[in-house]
């Protein structure tokens, strides 16, 4: 007794298993973490080192070079990129993605050990380099704004933000918390240079006096015969204002010189790296991140509840606390859209099945879908899977495949029922007949998708869950198709069986007659088909464009701004207000909110962790989801660009959409690596000119920038020696005066307060004050700086880039994907300049960003694609015992690919990575249908011991209904997602578009091309 017969004879057991699978799957699904992307380690590490008061050149020589020297000897690194800017060094390390996980983890440890070996850092580098791994689990869940709705009281806002942070940490699942615009407390000792010179006090003397006064230190233990007591020297400041009474010097007559005699003491805050505003209000923004493995939506709900409670507490305190952006909304929105479209697809699937089959058969086929889905959910925890965009993509692909299995079995059983067999006999015979071809089809599909496991790099890690989900669903679908489905169909009453519908009989008859006609004229048919196929393919291949992750109606827009070099944050903030007013005019039906951050315009790094400049700014515009607004983001961008044209005072003012998918960089990223940076600058100017003149290319930028003019002090070494001074004395004094120097610290209320000595704000802004600075020499006399130094003006670079330890510069640009792709631009740059650069000694050019990742991903994808085809061929060859028939089965693949190209061309979309993934799903259905057709033809040939036109056409027409039915049900089931009937999600469109349209074209190939090619066999 076969397993199918066992389940048919035990319907109660069968139904219990089905119900158990659905219930277990449902409750497992409810407990799965929901997040936007799977937890992926990008194999990248960022090393950030703070070096206060230093120029980019100082940072390069004294910090970056030291760390890079240690890193360059390590094995297993793919790239080392660095940028040295004022006060900071940032080094990005990429680990070879082809290495196994355990080796990558070892390399991460080696990197940390290498950094620990760097011991010759400048004394100003007080903190160890900050090392962070780049992972998708480190994504933000929410950004909360704590804004001043009225008079800006920064100290009060800080207290609210700190309390909010403390309460956030009590929520389970909350990971890192980053506060943007939150400044640490600082006591500023603002020196009056004229008073200090009158009293003959130097900056160094003032700093030493403050440092020596603020002391709390254990002096050991006093032991006596009966007890022991600790001895503590206590001279610590009780409150910040005490520093004013600190004695600088005192004579024997009792006259004292105190800090307050030469300086003004003021409670203040550290200078901000980034200055945020929300909807025009000054604010402190709290970015909440989740821990790996925690549910993003549940965490968001808890944070929302906390925000609501704070709104009630502070509603009368001129503080506006609100959720600026909830990133979990995009996850829940995607889930809702997928759920709605899946439900509508299921309804359309049922309606389609009713057209082809009787009511009960159609119903049991449709019920096979939730069994496969819930069955896969049961296994998710064992494979570490969560509910995310990539998993949903896999489920959508698998739905077309699992419907295919159930339809083929049910249609065959239904055919035997219509021929007069009892339901039980039809179920046993029909399922048994399809077991072998479906087993082969499932096996080939599993092996085909398993080839994705061999993809490496970032994209390989992202798609890793796709084959896992599809294989799980296929296994449960196969189980359901040969156990649960036959059991249900075996108990269909004879009265429910209806003969094949008249319109279907007519379609089959037309198909059989046209097939016979083409078989009689098969040479002409093949000639016409091949010429037409060749012409269409050549046309659409030329028109095809590839964009890794195209931007389609984005919900987030970025406005990048630059004012004049040298502008302070306050000046930049004032100038940007004109842009804020224009952004605020976006219709409320489309605008959810916007935030301004002065100090950077790094769209991919809103916490300002990358390059910072006071004259840079970024406005992030949050739109309502695409299905909730009538205005497309492209129209909003065009409107903003039109309004921005009349604004003056900006060297950069451009709008760009948010880019979906893994971080791959800008579409155009050109790196020039040089021994002599001046040689690179010659090519840089030419490339920049080409890009700025190219239509469809915008936001052209280079890292090779010059900042505001700097004053260079030329020291007279002879005079310094005569007066008992060193170059370090000069450097320290200048730094004390302008950058400021942390004399001491005081810890109060869990916060460390620094005491910074520097010139007062009025004098710091006057160049003439530089000449009035004095230094105390070894004999205690004050020496004017002007006596030992002359000054000149130079332009200093804003940043210094390294690539692989060598000086480099990077040119980046964005593209309008409707006009041109990044690949096309990079190809033109390569054709124009590659040859000249190769002829120039000491200069090389490489392409990074999206171009590099696209090439890697495409190469790996097509390697996996070809590997999958080879595996399928070998399996088919062994099981069919034929070298030729596997080629017959795979002959539909080119036809399906042509259908995909036509679909993307007609819809005006570029081919994308998700489009390629959808193509894989489409090919899985095609190979299954083609295999079933060939199996049927083989059975007819074996039965009749010959194969003529009539026998072949009669055999082929038996597969007409199941093949058309599988294709139609798949296309109809995907249609709501393709065209947004239940909600439009642009991210999924390329994938479902390639699946549905490819099937439409390839079905014709399965019905006609496969039988005609089969007829050539002897």
Q: CATH assignment of 37-136?
A: 3.30.70.1430
pLDDT band at 609 (very low <50, low <70, confident <90, very high): very low
**d(C-alpha 866, C-alpha 849), whole Å:** 26
| Residue 496: band (very low, low, confident or very high) from pLDDT cuts 50, 70, 90 | low
733-745: average pLDDT: 77
pLDDT in the model for residue 273: 66
How much is the mean pLDDT over the chain?
A: 83
Fold of 186-215+231-269+708-797: 3.30.2090
Mean pLDDT for the stretch of residues 573-589: 90
Please name the residue that has the structure tokens 């058969």.
361
Higher per-residue confidence, 373 vs 762: 373
Residues 6+ apart with CB under 8 A from 488: 14, 360, 364, 367
Contact in structure between 772 and 760 (CB atoms under 8 Å): no
Pairing mode of beta strands 668-674, 806-815? antiparallel
Region label for 692, one of left (φ > 0), alpha (ψ between -120 and 50) or beta (otherwise)? alpha
- Read off the pLDDT of each residue in 282-286 and give the average, rounded to a whole number: 88
Residue with tokens 């080629």: 887
pLDDT higher than 80, residue 490? yes
Overall pTM > 0.85: no
Q: Find all residues with CB under 8 Å of 36, minimum gap 6, and list them.
A: 139, 296, 327, 328, 330, 331, 334, 388, 389
Residues 6+ apart with CB under 8 A from 227: none
| Each residue's pLDDT tens digit, 798-834 | 888 999 888 889 998 888 877 888 888 988 999 999 9
C-alpha angle 269-275-277 in degrees, rounded to nearest 5: 120
Distance CA 366, CA 343 (A): 11
Most distant pair of Cα atoms in the chain: their distance: 128
pLDDT at 476: 94
- Burial environment of residue 717 by CB neighbours within 10 A (0 to 12, 13 to 18, 19 or more): exposed
Q: Residue 390: what are its φ and ψ, rounded to 5°?
A: -65, -40
pLDDT value at 902 more than 60 = yes
Please determine whether the domains at 37-136 and 186-215+231-269+708-797 fall in the same fold group of CATH: no
Q: Decide yes or no: CATH 3.30.70.1430 for domain 554-658.
A: yes
Band of pLDDT at residue 460, cut at 50, 70 and 90: confident
Residues in the chain: 1018
Q: Which residues contact 780 (CB under 8 A, 6 or more apart)?
A: none
What are the boundaries of each domain within the chain?
3-31+331-549+854-1014, 37-136, 186-215+231-269+708-797, 554-658
Cα(42)–Cα(83) distance, rounded to whole angstroms? 20
Task: Report the distance separating Cα 425 and Cα 281, nearest Å.
Answer: 76
% of the chain with per-residue pLDDT over 90: 12
DSSP 491-516: T--GGG--PPPHHHHHHHHHHHHHHH
Closest alpha carbon to 937 in 989, 877, 990, 1007 = 1007
* CA–CA dist 771, 310 (Å, integer): 53
**Domain 3-31+331-549+854-1014 in CATH: superfamily?**
Multidrug efflux transporter AcrB transmembrane domain (1.20.1640.10)
**For residue range 386-411, what is the model confidence (pLDDT) as tens digits?**
888 888 888 888 887 788 788 888 88
What are the pLDDT digits (tens) for 247-282? 888 876 678 888 888 888 888 888 766 778 887 788
**Pick from 912, 911, 914: nearest CA to 901:** 911
């Amino acid at each position: 007794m076969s397993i199918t017969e066992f389940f048919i004879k035990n319907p109660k057991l069968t139904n219990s298993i089905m119900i158990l699978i659905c219930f277990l799957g449902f409750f497992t699904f409810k407990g799965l973490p929901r997040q936007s992307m799977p937890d992926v380690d990008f194999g990248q590490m960022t090393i950030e080192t703070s070096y206060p008061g230093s120029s980019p050149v100082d940072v390069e020589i004294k910090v970056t070079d030291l760390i890079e020297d240690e890193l360059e000897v390590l094995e297993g690194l793919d790239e080392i990129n660095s940028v040295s800017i004022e006060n900071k060094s940032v080094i990005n390390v990429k680990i070879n993605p082809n290495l196994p996980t355990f080796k990558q983890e070892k390399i991460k440890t080696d990197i940390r050990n290498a950094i620990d070996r760097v011991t010759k850092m400048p004394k100003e580098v007080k903190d160890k380099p900050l090392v962070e791994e780049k992972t998708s689990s480190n994504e933000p869940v929410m950004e909360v704004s704590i804004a001043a709705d009225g008079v800006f009281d920064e100290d009060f806002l800080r207290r609210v933000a700190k309390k909010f942070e403390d309460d956030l940490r009590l929520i389970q699942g909350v990971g890192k918390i980053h506060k943007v615009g939150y400044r640490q407390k600082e006591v500023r000792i603002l020196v009056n240079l004229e008073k200090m010179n009158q009293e003959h006090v130097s900056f160094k003397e003032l700093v030493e006096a403050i440092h020596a006064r603020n002391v709390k230190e254990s002096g050991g233990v006093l032991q006596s015969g009966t007890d022991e007591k600790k001895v503590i020297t206590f001279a610590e400041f009780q409150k910040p204002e005490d520093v004013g009474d600190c004695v600088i010097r005192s004579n024997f007559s009792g006259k004292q010189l105190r800090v307050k005699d030469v300086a003004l003491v003021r409670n203040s805050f550290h200078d901000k790296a980034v200055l945020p505003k929300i909807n025009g209000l000054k604010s402190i923004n709290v970015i909440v991140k989740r821990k790996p493995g925690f549910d993003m939506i549940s965490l968001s709900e808890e944070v929302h509840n906390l925000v609501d409670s704070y709104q009630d507490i502070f509603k009368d305190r001129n503080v506006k606390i609100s959720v600026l952006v909830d990133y979990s909304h995009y996850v829940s929105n995607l889930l809702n859209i997928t759920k709605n479209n899946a439900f509508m697809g299921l309804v359309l699937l049922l309606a389609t099945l009713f057209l082809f089959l009787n009511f009960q058969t159609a119903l049991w086929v449709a019920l096979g879908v939730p069994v496969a889905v819930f069955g896969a959910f049961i296994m998710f925890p064992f494979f570490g899977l969560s509910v995310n965009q990539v998993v949903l993509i896999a489920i959508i692909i698998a739905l077309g495949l699992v419907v295919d299995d159930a339809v083929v079995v049910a249609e065959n059983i239904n055919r035997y029922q219509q021929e007069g067999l009892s339901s039980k006999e039809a179920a046993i015979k029909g399922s048994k007949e399809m077991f072998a071809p479906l087993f082969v089809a499932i096996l080939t599909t599993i092996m085909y998708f398993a080839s994705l496991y061999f993809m490496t790099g970032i994209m390989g890690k992202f798609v890793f869950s796709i084959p896992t989900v599809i294989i799980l669903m296929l296994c449960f679908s196969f189980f359901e198709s040969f156990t649960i489905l036959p059991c249900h169909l075996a108990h269909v009453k004879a009265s429910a069986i209806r003969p094949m519908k008249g319109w279907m009989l007519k379609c089959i008859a037309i198909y059989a007659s046209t097939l016979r006609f083409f078989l009689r004229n098969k040479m002409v048919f093949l000639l016409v088909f091949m010429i037409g196929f060749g012409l269409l393919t050549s046309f659409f291949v030329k028109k095809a464009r590839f964009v890794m992750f195209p931007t389609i109606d984005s919900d987030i827009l970025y406005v990048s701004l630059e004012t004049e070099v040298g502008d302070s944050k306050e000046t930049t903030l004032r100038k940007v207000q004109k842009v804020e007013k224009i952004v605020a005019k976006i219709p409320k039906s489309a605008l959810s909110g916007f935030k301004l951050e002065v100090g950077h315009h790094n769209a991919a790094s809103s916490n300002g962790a990358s390059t910072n400049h006071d004259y840079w700014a970024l406005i992030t515009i949050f739109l309502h989801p695409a299905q909730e607004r009538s205005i497309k983001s492209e129209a909003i961008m065009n409107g903003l660009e039109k309004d921005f044209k009349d604004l003056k005072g900006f060297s950069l003012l451009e709008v760009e959409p948010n880019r979906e998918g893994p971080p791959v960089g800008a579409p155009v990223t050109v790196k020039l690596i040089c021994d002599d940076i001046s040689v690179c600058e010659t090519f840089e100017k030419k490339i920049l000119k080409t890009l700025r003149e190219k239509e469809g290319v915008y936001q052209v930028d280079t890292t090779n920038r010059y900042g505001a003019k700097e004053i260079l002090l030329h020291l007279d070494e002879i005079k310094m020696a005569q007066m008992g001074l060193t170059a370090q004395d000069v450097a320290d004094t200048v730094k004390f005066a302008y950058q400021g120097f942390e004399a001491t610290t005081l810890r109060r209320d869990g916060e460390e307060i620094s005491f910074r000595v520097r010139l007062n704000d009025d004098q710091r802004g006057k160049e003439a004050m530089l000449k009035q600075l004095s230094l105390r020499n070894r004999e205690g006399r004050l020496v004017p700086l002007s006596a030992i130094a002359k000054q000149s003006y130079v332009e200093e670079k804003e940043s210094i880039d390294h690539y692989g330890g060598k000086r480099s510069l990077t040119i980046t640009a964005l593209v309008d994907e409707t006009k041109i792709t990044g690949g096309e631009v990079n190809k033109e740059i390569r054709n124009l300049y590659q040859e000249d650069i190769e002829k120039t000694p000491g200069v090389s050019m490489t392409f990074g960003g999206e171009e590099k990742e696209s090439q890697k991903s495409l190469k790996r994808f097509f390697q996996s694609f070809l590997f999958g085809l080879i595996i399928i061929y070998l399996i088919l060859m062994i099981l069919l015992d034929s070298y030729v028939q596997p080629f017959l089965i795979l002959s539909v693949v080119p036809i399906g690919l042509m259908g995909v190209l036509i679909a993307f061309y007609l819809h005006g979309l570029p081919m994308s990575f998700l489009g390629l993934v959808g193509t894989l799903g489409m090919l899985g259905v095609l190979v299954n249908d083609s295999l079933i057709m060939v199996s049927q033809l083989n059975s007819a040939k074996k039965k009749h011991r010959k194969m003529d036109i009539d026998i072949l056409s009669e055999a082929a027409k038996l597969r007409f209904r199941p093949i058309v039915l599988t294709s139609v049900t798949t296309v109809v089931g995907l249609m709501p997602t393709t065209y947004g009937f239940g909600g439009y999600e642009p991210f999924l469109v390329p994938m479902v578009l390639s699946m549905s349209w490819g099937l439409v074209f390839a079905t014709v190939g399965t019905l006609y091309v496969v039988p005609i090619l089969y007829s050539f066999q002897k």
